[in-house]
Amino acid sequence: MAFSLNARTRLLVVAPHPDDESIATGELIQQVRQSGGDVRILLLTNGDNNPWPQRWMERRLRIGADERRRWGDRRRTEVGQAMTQLGVDASSLEALGWPDMGITARLHADLEASIASLTACLDASQPNLVAIPALGDHHPDHSAAHVLFRLALDRWQGNAPDLLAYLVHGREGQVTGRVKLDSSVGLHANKLAALACHRSQMALSGKRMRRLADRAERYLQVRGSEPREAAPVLPWQPSAALQPWLHLMLADRQGARRWPWREAPLARDGQGRYVLHALGNETTGPVFAKLYMNLPSPWIFDRWGWCEL
């Protein structure tokens, strides 16, 4: 492991939804606590936009605002129970109550307010180790959480922490340079016991969740942004048939903006690749772009997702 855990470790786990803290970082949390370190959980949403498990458990079809609020409260309670199982006091949870399945929209519409909330959490916890979702995670809340937290860290005036990225939704091979966490039978068994505290999710998706949690905990150590070209090449080559429904979003220190694909500041280079001309030579800090289709769909996961330029 390229970082050490000891009594001075102050770990902050950024979890987009209840259960992410157990699935992705259950063993890391235990190791920090066993080393005498401190752990705080930052929960971005209450996971209330999760209708099918709620329909299953409550034997109802209609899910209104009151039902969603109650479901979110239930999931918040389950997070506290899982934290206790992992050796963390439930008072170490900070919940922002952002909209479930709405973090990307929040990034675009309320970037400054979102960054302010995250930097306030950093001020309060002063972490020297942070675990955040991977940029390449297929769930749009996870990848947007990565973008927002990286932009918040870029703005934060405190000492830069070691930054680890975890993958929940996607193939592990898609992220290279991983740090594998040491494990033991006892740590893993207790992680699964913490996962079982999320009864609302285990009732309908227990097999899938246990499969996710059974993977070894591996993290990508995120480094600072490297110098970039003023006109970077995008990694995507969308077909002409899809382009009328595609949008491009850009997020950096200047804010968040988006365009329909055919109106975006793009040009083709000599190899037919798309080059973005929205960055000036003075642009510094992390810059992220997202390609997405602006059509309603029951499929919640990203097809293209974000990239860091």
> In which band, very low, low, confident or very high, does the pLDDT at 179 lie, cut at 50, 70 and 90?
confident
Is residue 305 predicted with pLDDT exceeding 50? yes
Check whether residue 190 and residue 249 sit in a common domain. Answer: no
Helix (H) or strand (E) holding 39: strand 38-45
Are 163 and 283 found together in one domain? no
For residue 2, what pLDDT band results from cuts at 50, 70 and 90?
A: low
Same domain, 157 and 273: no
Return d(Cα 30, Cα 36) in angstroms, integer.
Answer: 10
Range of the domain at 283: 243-308
Does the pLDDT at position 176 exceed 50?
no
Residues 196 and 299 in one domain: no
Question: Is position 237 within any domain?
Answer: no
Same domain, 254 and 196: no
Number of compact structural domains in the chain: 2
CA distance 262 to 244: 7
Query: Which one of 221, 256, 276 terminates a domain?
Result: 221
What's the pTM value of the predicted model, to 2 decimals?
A: 0.94
Q: Within a domain: residue 227?
A: no
Query: What CATH number should be reported for the domain holding residue 133?
Result: 3.40.50.10320
> In three state form, how does the secondary structure of 46-80 look?
CCCCCHHHHHHHHCCCCCCHHHHHHHHHHHHHHHH
Tell me the mean pLDDT in the region 42-46.
98
Q: Which residue has the tokens 């227990």?
A: 206
